[in-house]
Chains A and B, each alone.
Chain A
Amino acid sequence: MNEWAIIWANLILILAIVFAFSAMLSWIERRLLGLWQDRYGPNRVGPFGVLQIVADSIKLLTKEDWIPPFADRAVFVLAPAIVAVTTLLAFAVVPIAPGIGVVDLNIGLLFFLAMSSLGVYSIVLGGWASNSKYSLLGGLRAAAQMLSYEVFMGLALMGVVMLADSFNLRDIVAAQENLWFCVPQILGLATFAVAGIAEARRLPFDLPESENELVAGFHTEYSSMKFGLFFIGEYVGITLISAMIVTLFFGGWLGPLLPPLVWFLLKTFIVVACFVLLRAALPRPRYDQLMAYGWKVMLPVTLVNLLITGAVVLSTA
């Protein structure tokens, strides 16, 4: 009985933290973008505009929920739910602090990779079911981009797995007690961060959405809360990737003085801010550049990193 109570408390706490943070992220992102572009961003609703998300949600919930007559109804309705569900499910394995976390899977890392891969279905199906050319183009791009960046996303993490000798995320954090993996795995960090941005469809790699060519890409036909679900999925995705970068490369909850939970949240926030900075600074590459970058630069770098890490681990073992 007591065990169940702890699990439920954990579940609700994590869901609350993730949702609150992801919801606030839409405001944080706009304020940070404003800060870096010499303007203010939303600062009208509530103190500093923190209640902007409330206003936005009310607007999204009360808008007409339009399903185009030419769309594939069932898939169209299902698609936005997938991305929200998969990203939230992936949070189950994220070790937020000692004692805080939903499950302690011994293959936590694989579960995370599996869930983030499943997220692509949402985008592709959403683009396909919309039955319009812009959505389809967005979905196509999403499929190609995510599949090619997934390849080295997994491989980039294998160096971490070699060093920690475990797929369990808590063991990986514990293995960084002396030295965070961002030092020995700097190449892994770089490639994983790039893959993560592509996976979360964030700005330098937001080709599935690319609003200046494809209207809104895969979610062109979506309105109201279905559109909102895509957005929640995207923001939870950013939070997830940031949390994973922190867990795998920056020592998770480890840190002096402050309590572990605070350290984890602080580090995650800094990584999220870096994501926003990327959006503020970098333009979107052309589609073939994106593909070439993935296959011709990132994949070889990942493999080299893997070879070096393997050699070092073998020689020191």
Chain B
Amino acid sequence: MWNSLKTMWIVFLHMFRRRVTIQYPDEKPNIPPRWRGRIILSRDPDGEERCVACYLCAAACPVDCIALQATEDEHGRRYPEFFRINFSRCIFCGYCEEACPTDAIQLTPDFEMGEYNRKNLVYEKEDLLIDGTGKYPGYNFYRVAGATIGGKNKGEAENEAPPVDPHSLLP
């Protein structure tokens, strides 16, 4: 009996506490930057697409919601011909971001993706591609990678030594 009364008194005192509810549509919640929300494709600092269409994100995706087709431009630079994410399947696990070798695919803190038509949840490349670098400013895959593309030969990347000639006997 005494315990019950004490409980009631404590609950009554909660009247004077601050409410924890965030009234969502009126008041936006504070979302941590590592939140796994809407997926985007970022560009490198030069404004080129970061994605090299390696298919690793599509392979890592547990629900197979990513579809893309690789192609090359005239400089030998790989890029996706199309890149499609079906957000009605996506479970926002972030495995694609972990798998991406070029930091192209990234998850953002945006979660407001409601649609009246289910087909509108299929995002094409022009919906996914953003103008900025996303979470990793300054990173440019082709500048640090050894791959040869038009205008850049082997050994010309940043922090890269000139290639060794295996036919030469000199050290």
Q: Which residues of A contact B (CB under 8 A)?
A: 34-40, 277-278, 280-282
B113 adjacent to chain A (CB < 8 Å): no
Given A281-B7, A282-B4, A282-B7, also A36-B18 (CB < 8 A): no
CA distance A34 to B20 in the complex (A): 11
Pick the residue among B8, B18, B21, B23 that contacts A281 (CB under 8 A).
B8
Residue total for B at the interface (Cβ-Cβ under 8 A)? 14
Contacts of A34 in B (CB 8 A): 19
Q: Which residues of B contact A (CB under 8 A)?
A: 4, 7-8, 10-12, 14-15, 17-21, 23
Contacts of B10 in A (CB 8 A): 281
CA distance A39 to B23 in the complex (A): 10
Contact: A38 with B11, CB < 8 Å? no
Pairs A–B under 8 Å by Cβ, sample size 24: A34-B19, A35-B15, A36-B11, A36-B15, A37-B14, A38-B14, A38-B17, A38-B18, A38-B19, A38-B20, A38-B21, A39-B20, A39-B21, A40-B19, A40-B21, A40-B23, A277-B8, A277-B11, A277-B12, A281-B7, A281-B8, A281-B11, A281-B12, A282-B4
CA distance A105 to B18 in the complex (A): 49
Contacts of B14 in A (CB 8 A): 35-38
**CB-nearest residue of chain A to B9:** A281
Closest-CB distance, A202 to chain B (whole angstroms)? 13
Contacts of B7 in A (CB 8 A): 281-282
Contact: A280 with B11, CB < 8 Å? yes
Task: Report the 6 A-B pairs with minimum CB-CB distance, sorted nearest first.
Answer: A281-B11, A281-B8, A39-B21, A281-B7, A36-B14, A40-B21
Closest-CB distance, B144 to chain A (whole angstroms)? 51
Contacts of B4 in A (CB 8 A): 281-282
CA distance A36 to B8 in the complex (A): 10
CA distance A35 to B8 in the complex (A): 13
CA distance A39 to B40 in the complex (A): 35
CA distance A77 to B4 in the complex (A): 39
Closest-CB distance, B113 to chain A (whole angstroms)? 23
Closest-CB distance, B164 to chain A (whole angstroms)? 68
Contacts of A36 in B (CB 8 A): 11-12, 14-15
Contacts of A282 in B (CB 8 A): 4, 7-8
CA distance A37 to B20 in the complex (A): 9
Contact: B19 with A278, CB < 8 Å? no
CA distance A281 to B87 in the complex (A): 43
CA distance A38 to B22 in the complex (A): 11
Contacts of B11 in A (CB 8 A): 36, 277, 280-281
**CB-nearest residue of chain A to B16:** A35
**CB-nearest residue of chain B to A40:** B21
